[in-house]
Amino acid sequence: MHGAAATRLLKCWGDEAVVYDGESGDTHYLKPFTLALYQTCREHPQSTPDAIAAALARRLDVHDTPHFRALIDDVLAELEKIGLLKTP
């Protein structure tokens, strides 16, 4: 949906953000972890899940653990659900 992307606005304040979808009228708050993951995915659009996890762990200066991977999976699913990211 090319037109839908044009109606989505992202406003960042430090490490938090709000996304407004002009088409649906929905507003979504992105917590710091969610915003960092979203930005990492945007910066590395063709990356594998392993590469995204490694890049995010470096960005946040944390260890890439199974719990970290599970959190990434949950947040990615939420970002897909609200239309911010799409899986190929």
pLDDT in tens, 25-62: 889 999 999 999 999 998 988 888 899 999 999 999 99
Q: What's the pLDDT at 1?
A: 33
**Average pLDDT of the chain, as a whole number:** 87
pTM equals: 0.82
Which residues have a Cβ under 8 Å from the Cβ of 17 and sit 6 or more positions away?
Answer: 10, 11, 29, 30, 35, 38
Work out the pLDDT band at 24, boundaries 50, 70, 90.
Answer: confident
Per-residue pLDDT band at 6 (split at 50, 70, 90): low
SS3 content of the chain, % helix, strand, coil (to 5): 50, 20, 30
Amino acid found at 43: E
- For 73, residues 6+ apart whose C-beta sits below 8 A from its C-beta are none
